[in-house]
Amino acid sequence: MLNLHLYMAQRLTALIMAPLVIGHLAVMIYAVQGGLSVAEILARTQGSLAWFLFYGSFVLAVSIHAAIGMRVIMFEWLGIKGTLLSLISWGVCLLLLMLGGRAVWAVTFAGAGA
């Protein structure tokens, strides 16, 4: 159930995710190899606009990309269509955006003033 616009949105978000995933893996390996503690990691991320933009754009891309993929699966495998399909797709997108956004906010700006 993909039209051209949904197809392009999914491909473009994949393009955005690819370097961000590599960056995330590199950060994880660096953090583990260097033996950084949670406090040391948070010290680097708290108040950082760069990390907020890095993981914020990742969450945004994932939310759009995954919701479109789920839309196809729901249509082809579960037979959901029409308005219900659009509502659930938007629901998936907003849920991922909320969960991911909350996590990104927590490690960047939520405790920045503390």
Which residue ranges make up the site for other proteins (CB under 8 A)? Answer: 1-8, 11, 72, 75-77
Closer CB to other proteins, 8 or 43, in the complex = 8
Closer CB to other proteins, 15 or 53, in the complex = 15
**What is the smallest separation between the CB atom of 76 and other proteins, expressed in angstroms?**
4
**What is the smallest separation between the CB atom of 3 and other proteins, expressed in angstroms?**
5
Listed residue (48, 52, 64) closest to 97, CA to CA: 64
Closer CB to other proteins, 2 or 20, in the complex = 2
- Encoded tokens for 5: 């616009």
Closer CB to other proteins, 3 or 37, in the complex = 3
Amino acid identity, position 53:
L
> How far is CA 71 from its chain centroid?
17
Amino acid identity, position 113:
G
**What is the smallest separation between the CB atom of 66 and other proteins, expressed in angstroms?**
17
Residue 112, classed as helix, strand or coil, is coil
**What is the smallest separation between the CB atom of 67 and other proteins, expressed in angstroms?**
16
Query: How far is 26 from 48, CA to CA, in rounded Å?
Result: 18
